[in-house]
Every structure is written in C-alpha cells, then in structure tokens.
C-alpha cells in the first residue's frame, strides 16, 4: 500500500477516490483539522502555518474534522489518530441520522509531512436490511466502538484510549507549542478498603469517585478523565493555564475526601493523593516524561502523609 506522496500525486489519487467515496479529505487528527489542498500546496511545512490554521479557519469549509458528524469535540473512537500512530490504515463504521457510513483512514506522508487520508462512503443503500435491522446494527456498532475505549467498571475512558488516542497527539501538540496539563489521582490505602470491606465495596468507591470527578469536569472544555489502572486515574486538560488547572483539581479534590457510605451502612473516609504537572515545565515532547513528572509529585504527596496535592 502506498503511503508516500508528492502533492501532485496525492491530488491525483484524491480525484480518483472521489469517484467511489462520498467524502475524501486530508486530516490532521492531532489538531482535528481538515487540511485544504491550497494549504498543502502553498506551505513548505504545515506546522509553520498552524497558528493561522487554528485562528483564521484556513482549513476548508468545515475546519474541524469532527464537524461532519455533527460533533462538537474530538471523536472518542478516532481511527485517524491511531492511523497516525501506527503508520497504517484502519476502518470503522459510523452512523449519523440513521445512515450507515464505512470509513477508511490511511496514513500518508506528503512531502515529509504526516497526515491521515480519510475516505467515507454512505453504505445504507447497499445493505439488504430492514429499517429495524439497520437501526439495531447501528446501535450494536456504536456500543462496540464505545466498549473499546471505556473502562467497564467506571464508564470513564480506559488506558487504551490514552495510549491510542492521546499520546501521539501530545507529541504533536508540544511541537505546535500547545500546552497540556496532567494530574494523576491515586486513592489512599485502597488495598485496606478492599481487605476490610470487600472488593464489591471497593468497586462502589471507584464508581463514586469516577462519577464525581467526571461530573465536575463537565464545566471545562478540552479535558477528560481516564482510569489508568487499579485505583489510579488521570485527568488531562489541554490548556496553557496551569493555574486554572490547579484550581480545577482543588475543586474536585474536596468532594473526593468526604465520607462515603456503602450498602452495608459502613462509613468510609476517602482520601486521595494527587500529582500534577504541566507540559510547559519540560522540554521533551514525550508524554511519559510529563507523566513521570506528575508521578514523582504523586509520590511526594504520598510521602508527605497522603491526602495531598503536589503541583510544583
């Protein structure tokens, strides 16, 4: 499969593909932008034009790639992000307004620049299904897509979402001078909770905290929470305002330290230790360097007596 193109080669292939697909477009899934043919042709490096792309809407009719699905934010099951990470191609089904779409995302390198080439086809008419069968098929596909990136216990994002959809995005955002804030939250003495009250109660506590934190984050754009493993969660906030991020963490920290009552009437005091870090604090564009900084601060919070936030 061909991945390396000159500008002229890519434009020729797009023209051919448009005879088959309803939508053919070049996307940068890291910043969720549709890249127009004019921008591809006129810029030596798209990265140099990113401030203009982000502020002046020079990326075509829709601008953001998720607009075509009537979404207001990045698609949670974005195959183009994974395409860029693995330098391969992926396919998925998507639905909108009861229509079923077949989507192919292919990694391309255009004169040394990496993008995803997305091809979309409405296949609703090609399925020999009744309307009810089509509807059930769509629901099943949406459910399976969500399952892949969702923690089954807490219903927040899982580690797979972080590793497949965010880590590569982080590297690109750093190169574009976009800032990211990270918090690692770890429940104090959680093993003792499981030992003393049972794993069922432990699961209830994980659900309680995840729901509490997730609801608190709804007031903030460009943020998400994921269960990274066991009793450890991470919160990611795409913003250069580290002070605002720290305030956000303090706001959600208080309810996490209140009492929770399990179904047996036991009062359990919950405390949480948190380590925070901002990408502007480090020069590296590797996500795990940011993660390690936050993790070291989490360790300091634990060593200081737990139930603490260390952010500097």
* pLDDT at res. 124: 78
Mean pLDDT of 159-170: 78
* pLDDT at res. 45: 46
Per the model's pLDDT, the better-predicted residue between 170 and 13 turns out to be 13
Structure tokens at 26: 């070049």
* pLDDT at res. 58: 32
Mean pLDDT of 51-61: 39
Mark residue 113 as left, alpha or beta (left: phi above 0; alpha: psi -120 to 50; beta: remaining): beta
Distance CA 208, CA 260 (A): 8
∠ at Cα 1 (21, 117), nearest 5°?
40
List Cα–Cα distances, 43 to 48, 58, 100, 112, 171, in angstroms.
8, 12, 36, 12, 21
Instruction: Provide the pLDDT confidence category of residue 112 given band limits of 50, 70 and 90.
Output: confident
Residue 166 has pLDDT above 50, yes or no: yes
Residue 247 has pLDDT above 90, yes or no: no
Residue 55 has pLDDT above 60, yes or no: no
Asked if 246 contacts 235 with a C-beta cutoff of 8 angstroms, the reply is no
Distance CA 202, CA 190 (A): 8
Instruction: Provide the pLDDT confidence category of residue 81 given band limits of 50, 70 and 90.
Output: confident
End-to-end CA gap in the chain: 48
Cα dihedral across residues 247, 225, 265, 302: positive or negative? negative
In this structure, what are the phi and psi dihedrals at residue 225, rounded to the nearest 5 degrees? -120, 145
List Cα–Cα distances, 66 to 21, 63, 165, in angstroms.
18, 9, 14
Distance CA 117, CA 107 (A): 6
Instruction: Provide the pLDDT confidence category of residue 129 given band limits of 50, 70 and 90.
Output: low
Q: Show Cβ contacts of residue 40 under 8 Å, excluding neighbours closer than 6 positions.
A: 7, 10, 26, 46, 110
Burial of residue 122, with CB atoms counted within 10 A of its CB: 0-12 exposed, 13-18 middle, 19 or more buried? middle
Report pTM. Answer: 0.71
Asked if 274 contacts 288 with a C-beta cutoff of 8 angstroms, the reply is no
Residue 119 has pLDDT above 80, yes or no: yes
Asked if 77 contacts 145 with a C-beta cutoff of 8 angstroms, the reply is yes
Mean pLDDT of 92-104: 81
At 271-301, the pLDDT tens digits run 899 999 998 888 887 888 999 999 999 999 9
% of the chain beyond a pLDDT of 70: 84
* pLDDT at res. 17: 92
Structure tokens at 179: 């800032």
Distance of CA 65 to the CA centre of its chain: 14
Per the model's pLDDT, the better-predicted residue between 65 and 127 turns out to be 65
Asked if 115 contacts 108 with a C-beta cutoff of 8 angstroms, the reply is yes
Give the residue numbers annotated as catalytic, written as ranges.
Answer: 231
Q: Give the DSSP letter string of 26-48.
A: EEETTTTEEEPHHHHHH-S-GGG
Distance CA 92, CA 115 (A): 18
């Amino acid at each position: 499969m061909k991945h390396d193109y000159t500008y002229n080669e890519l434009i020729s292939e797009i023209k051919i593909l448009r005879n088959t697909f309803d939508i053919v477009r070049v996307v940068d899934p890291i910043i969720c932008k549709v890249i127009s043919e004019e921008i591809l042709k006129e810029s030596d490096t798209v990265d140099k034009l990113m401030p203009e792309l982000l502020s002046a809407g020079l990326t075509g009719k829709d601008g953001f790639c998720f607009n075509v699905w009537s979404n207001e934010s990045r698609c949670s099951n974005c195959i183009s992000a994974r395409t860029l990470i693995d330098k391969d191609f992926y396919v998925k089904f998507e639905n909108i307004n009861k229509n079923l779409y077949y989507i192919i995302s292919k990694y391309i390198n255009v004169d040394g620049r990496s993008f995803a080439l997305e091809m979309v086809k409405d296949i609703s008419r090609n399925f020999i299904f009744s309307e009810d069968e089509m509807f059930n098929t769509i629901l099943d596909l949406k459910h399976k897509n969500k399952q892949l990136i969702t923690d089954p216990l807490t219903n927040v994002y899982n580690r797979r979402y972080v590793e497949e959809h965010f880590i590569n995005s982080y590297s690109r955002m750093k190169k574009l001078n976009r800032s990211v804030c990270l918090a690692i939250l770890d429940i104090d003495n959680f093993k003792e909770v499981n030992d003393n009250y049972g794993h069922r109660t432990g699961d209830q506590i994980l659900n309680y905290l995840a729901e509490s934190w997730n609801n608190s984050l709804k007031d903030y754009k460009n943020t998400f929470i994921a269960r990274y493993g066991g009793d450890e969660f991470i919160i990611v906030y795409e913003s250069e305002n580290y002070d605002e991020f720290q305030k956000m963490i303090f706001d959600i920290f208080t309810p996490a330290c209140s009492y929770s009552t399990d179904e047996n009437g036991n009062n359990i005091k919950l405390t949480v230790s948190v380590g925070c870090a901002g990408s502007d604090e480090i020069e590296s564009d590797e996500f795990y360097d940011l993660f390690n900084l936050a993790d070291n601060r989490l360790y300091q919070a634990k060593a200081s007596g737990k139930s603490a936030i260390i952010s500097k």
